Chain A
Amino acid sequence: MSDPGCATPMPLADLLSYWLGEMDQVSEAELEQHFFDCEECSARLARLAQLGRAIKHEIRAGRLSALLPARFIQRLKNAGMRVREYRMQPGGSISCTIAPDDDLVVTHLHAELGNVRRLDVIVDEGEGDVRRLQDVAFDPAAGEVVLFPCSADVRKLGVATLRVELVAVSDGAERALGSYTLNHSPHR
């Protein structure tokens, strides 16, 4: 029966696991039977799916910024996104831009991350605008994190300098892993 009220709503964690393909076959079949029977839970699952698609849209539109692993950038490229990439070693400086036909621009920040437990990133955009991004996600074995700025914001920039510093944090102590200078200018 299609009952708009649900006596046993599926937990959000289960809906997420189902949607992302993590359930075993038995659990998956049980959840499918429930949401086919239940208007409320099918609507919740639809909302979750809609939210997931909206997040994907924001990524593809270049409207989000994040620190991400290089393997994810490869996924974006495999999906056909045009990604302008820069690669920097600690202490390095580059001239960078974003072209009209670039979907995204990213910078690979290489550093020795092997023994790092927590990684913070300090971003200095000049004129006192300094942000500290705490405990970013990273793969210690990768030896790099990728700066993934909001492309829509980068396109609005004039000539600008961005200084980025990677900092390892452990037991209250900090250790600088590298600093990187990005000299941005609009595309000509």
Chain B
Amino acid sequence: MPQSLSSDDDAALARRIAAAAPERDKVAEAEVCRRFVPRVRLFGLRRLRSEAAAADLAQEVLIIVLQKLRDGSIREIERLAAFVLGTARQCIVDSRRNASRRERILEAFPVDFPSLVEEGMEHLDSNRLRDCLQGLAERERAVLMMSFYDDHPADVVGIELGLSVANVRVIRHRGIQRLRECMKLDRELS
């Protein structure tokens, strides 16, 4: 990808896509996907707690966004990120109301998007992770296991352990900090 494109701001990309219509500026569209698919997938994972549903959401949202860009129907092109987020929120609301609409969109616009949230991220060394987790204090390891097994908030973990919410948060934060240092993720999780 040319350096100039990856350093373009979102609005410049949006203008390129709109200017190319009815043709497609595939390079600019791919850059929009590169930037926003991981963010929509993260948002979807957090809201839907399902990898498959988050992947579907990202595909649906980016199809809608690219269509709108091609149509020139996004008013505040300088706020593309806000538009993508708003579309993602609306898609979740709509999907609860109308699952068949989502199916129609996905069938009508099959597009290959980046496959993983972690795409481009360095793989975590599982042996190192295990050693680092085992090196934590007993409470820290227990709280991290109970928090991340199925992404439970502090109040649920606190009930299971007979601890206050504040206490769980302190133990969890300390555990994550130590894990971060041990895994040498200081820069990425600062």
**Which one of B85, B121, B133 contacts A50 once the chains associate, using CB atoms below 8 Å?**
B121
Q: Chain B residues near A27: list those with CB within 8 A.
A: none
Chain A min CB distance to B15 (Å): 13
- In this complex, how many residues of chain A approach chain B with their Cβ under 8 Å: the count is 58
Is A66 touching B138 in the complex (CB atoms < 8 A)?
yes
Contact of A55 with B144 at beta-carbon distance under 8 Å, contacts A9-B190, A75-B149 already known: yes
Is B85 touching A12 in the complex (CB atoms < 8 A)?
no
Instruction: Please provide the chain B residues from 121 to 165 with a CB less than 8 Å away from any CB of chain A in the complex.
Output: 121, 124, 126, 129-130, 133-134, 137-139, 141-155, 159-163
Chain A min CB distance to B94 (Å): 18
Is A54 touching B124 in the complex (CB atoms < 8 A)?
yes
- In the complex, whether A165 has a CB less than 8 A from a CB of chain B is no
CA distance A53 to B147 in the complex (A): 11
Is A47 touching B185 in the complex (CB atoms < 8 A)?
yes
- In this complex, how many residues of chain B approach chain A with their Cβ under 8 Å: the count is 60
Chain A min CB distance to B100 (Å): 27
The digit string for A69-94, where 1 denotes a CB below 8 A from any CB of B, is: 10110011001000000000000000
**Which one of B43, B45, B118, B150 contacts A75 once the chains associate, using CB atoms below 8 Å?**
B150
Say whether chain B's binding surface is mostly helix, strand, loop, or mixed.
helix
Chain B min CB distance to A145 (Å): 10
Contact of A21 with B151 at beta-carbon distance under 8 Å, contacts A32-B43, A37-B81, A50-B118 already known: yes
- In the complex, whether B74 has a CB less than 8 A from a CB of chain A is no
Q: Chain B residues near A45: list those with CB within 8 A.
A: 42
Q: Chain B residues near A55: list those with CB within 8 A.
A: 129, 133, 144-145, 148-149
- In the complex, whether A124 has a CB less than 8 A from a CB of chain B is no
Contact of A18 with B129 at beta-carbon distance under 8 Å, contacts A35-B39, A44-B188, A66-B142 already known: no
> Which of A's residues lie within 8 Å of B, judged by CB?
1-2, 9, 12-13, 16, 18-22, 32-33, 35-37, 39, 42-59, 63-69, 71-72, 75-76, 79, 121, 133-142
Top 4 nearest A-B pairs (CB, nearest first) are A139-B162, A52-B148, A137-B142, A1-B9
